[in-house]
């Protein structure tokens, strides 16, 4: 299938990487065309699908025609994003005799995508990889850009690689089986894109919360598409996070620290980012970068998408200490993303403990 021949209701977004250009196809029902899309991209079939048991049980029939055998199943959830899970995939690939002509498909949420992607990046020194994300967060964020990896006990995503997919297929219809909490967690990442790059996107989410939470496909598709366009533009300009791509980390410095201090048990990733955005907005407002009205709008929208897990038992000191292990530190300096108003960002290197402490207390830490 040549570019442009996918269904009229789908959108093709091109992403440029150092290795190749790849397409992100977004549209309700586009997963029905997965085989022809892969063939058009000259990807070898049958492929090896990596998924998790719940996802495969609920949605596996949608991609079963892409694989000649059973999928490789791994545990899901942030606690499964480990070197042990990675080793399990290596063993499965070796047991199946996978060679360098193989195509690996990550069919799942962000954890499945990140671990399967890292396995593809490193097994036999690199295999072709396709992302078919099944969560909102993965569709709008983690499936695009080629950042794959696993966590260590000391921090999130400390072991990984840049390994761009050959194709991303994002079909909003697979989101219908997501648990409500998991779906809401993805909406926090959507809010992030509005805050960093698009006031119209932010306002669309704010005015359509009810429809978005109902998984209305006509409402979801343009929102997902806009997030994908924003990320595609950013990563095409800065694939290896040397500068501009860092804006995607808005809310992530504190969010990752919250995940680490709770051993990846308490928060969905998007929920931690929700708290991180509140803290970043507090610092931005205190510095005079972000208008009070915008800071209030971010706080109101984040809380409307809640409830968020409690943080009153967590200490400011522990969370600040966790930020010292953040992978975004360069030469000992932490790059922190602040907001200069909804739709604008500023990357700084001088956020102090004196600024972090009141911001963390403002979001409820002790």
Taking only the tens place, the pLDDT of each residue in 132-181 is 999 999 999 999 999 999 999 888 899 999 999 999 999 999 999 899 99
Say how many C-beta atoms besides its own lie within 10 A of residue 16's C-beta: 15
Place of tokens 């929700």: 274
pLDDT at res. 68? 82
Where in the chain is CATH 1.20.1090.10? 189-214+250-362
pLDDT at 206 over 90: yes
pLDDT at res. 279? 98
Determine which one of 6, 226, 239, 241 is catalytic. 241
Whether 226 is catalytic is no
Whether 252 is catalytic is yes
- Give the start-end residues of each E strand in 83-127: 103-108
CA dist 238 and 15 (Å) reads 11
pLDDT at res. 334? 79
Q: What pTM, to 2 d.p., does this model score?
A: 0.93
pLDDT at res. 331? 47
- The answer to whether the beta carbons of residues 162 and 147 sit under 8 Å apart is yes
Strand 128-133 versus strand 167-170 pairing type: parallel
CA 176 to chain centre: 18
Determine which one of 192, 245, 268, 328 is catalytic. 245
Whether 269 is catalytic is yes
DSSP-derived secondary structure for 322-340: HHTT-TTEETTEE-EEEES
Whether 256 is catalytic is yes
Query: Is the dihedral angle over the CA atoms 351, 202, 139, 54 positive or is it negative?
Result: positive
Look at domain 11-177 and name its CATH class.
alpha beta
Whether 20 is catalytic is no
Per-residue pLDDT band at 5 (split at 50, 70, 90): very low
Taking only the tens place, the pLDDT of each residue in 51-110 is 999 999 999 999 999 998 899 999 988 999 999 999 999 999 999 999 999 999 999 999
Summarize the confidence of residues 205-215 as an average pLDDT.
95
pLDDT at res. 326? 67
- For 312-345, b where at least 16 C-beta lie within 10 A, e where not — what string? eebebebbbebbebbbbeeeeeebbbbbebbbbb
pLDDT at 348 over 60: yes
Determine which one of 249, 271, 282, 328 is catalytic. 249
Summarize the confidence of residues 202-228 as an average pLDDT.
94
Tokens of 338: 């602040």
- The answer to whether the beta carbons of residues 86 and 118 sit under 8 Å apart is yes
pLDDT at 4 over 50: no
Determine which one of 269, 282, 285, 328 is catalytic. 269
Whether 245 is catalytic is yes
Kindly report whether the peptide bond that precedes residue 246 is cis, defined as omega within 30 degrees of 0. no
Position with higher pLDDT, 218 vs 247: 247
pLDDT at 289 over 50: yes
Whether 216 is catalytic is no
pLDDT at res. 329? 54
Per-residue pLDDT band at 217 (split at 50, 70, 90): confident
Q: Rounded to 5 degrees, what are φ and ψ at 14?
A: -95, 135
pLDDT at 2 over 50: no
Determine which one of 6, 78, 182, 189 is catalytic. 189
pLDDT at res. 218? 84
Whether 328 is catalytic is no
Query: CA dihedral in degrees (352, 353, 357, 359; nearest 10)?
Result: 20
The set of residues, in sequence order, having a beta carbon less than 8 Å from that of 154 and lying 6+ positions away, is 260, 325
Determine which one of 252, 282, 285, 328 is catalytic. 252
pLDDT at res. 223? 97
Determine which one of 6, 81, 147, 271 is catalytic. 147
Specify the fold of 189-214+250-362. Answer: Dehydroquinate synthase-like, alpha domain (1.20.1090)
Tell me the sheet residues that pair with 32: none
Place of tokens 């805050």: 195
- The answer to whether the beta carbons of residues 97 and 131 sit under 8 Å apart is no
Where in the chain is CATH 3.40.50.1970? 11-177
pLDDT at 3 over 50: no
Per-residue pLDDT band at 327 (split at 50, 70, 90): low
Report the chain's mean pLDDT, rounded to a whole number: 93
Whether 163 is catalytic is no
pLDDT at res. 332? 54
Whether 125 is catalytic is yes
């Amino acid at each position: 299938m040549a570019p442009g021949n996918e269904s009229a209701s789908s959108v093709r977004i091109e992403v440029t990487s150092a290795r190749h250009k790849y397409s992100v196809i977004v549209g309700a029902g586009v997963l029905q065309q997965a085989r022809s899309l892969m063939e058009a991209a000259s990807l070898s079939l049958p492929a090896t699908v990596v998924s998790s048991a719940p996802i495969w049980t609920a949605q596996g029939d949608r991609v079963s025609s892409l694989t000649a055998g059973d999928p490789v199943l791994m545990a899901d959830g942030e606690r499964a994003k480990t070197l042990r899970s990675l080793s399990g995939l290596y063993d499965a690939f070796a047991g199946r005799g996978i060679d360098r002509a193989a195509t690996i498909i990550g069919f799942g949420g962000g954890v499945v995508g990140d671990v399967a992607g890292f396995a593809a990046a490193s097994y036999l020194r690199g295999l072709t990889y396709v992302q078919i994300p099944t969560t909102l967060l993965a569709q709008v964020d983690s499936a695009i850009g080629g950042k794959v990896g696993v966590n260590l006990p000391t921090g999130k995503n400390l072991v990984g690689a840049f390994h761009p997919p050959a194709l991303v297929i994002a079909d909003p219809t697979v989101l219908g089986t997501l648990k409500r909490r998991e779906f809401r967690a993805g909406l926090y990442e959507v809010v992030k894109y509005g805050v960093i790059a698009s006031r119209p996107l932010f306002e669309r989410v704010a005015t359509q919360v009810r429809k978005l939470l109902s998984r209305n496909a006509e409402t979801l598709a343009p929102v997902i598409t806009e997030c994908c366009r924003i990320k595609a533009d950013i990563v095409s300009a800065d694939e290896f996070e040397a500068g501009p791509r860092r804006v995607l980390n808005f809310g992530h410095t504190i969010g990752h620290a919250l995940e680490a201090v709770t051993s990846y048990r308490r928060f969905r990733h998007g929920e931690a980012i929700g708290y991180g955005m509140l803290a970043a907005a507090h610092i931005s407002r205190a510095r005079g970068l972000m208008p009070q009205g915008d800071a209030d709008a971010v706080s109101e929208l984040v809380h409307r998408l809640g409830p968020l897990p409690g943080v009153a038992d967590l200490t400011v000191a522990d969370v600040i200490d966790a930020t010292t292990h953040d992978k975004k530190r360069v030469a000992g300096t932490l790059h922190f993303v602040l907001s200069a108003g909804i739709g604008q960002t500023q990357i700084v290197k001088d956020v102090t403990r004196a600024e972090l402490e009141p911001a963390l207390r403002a979001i409820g830490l002790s």
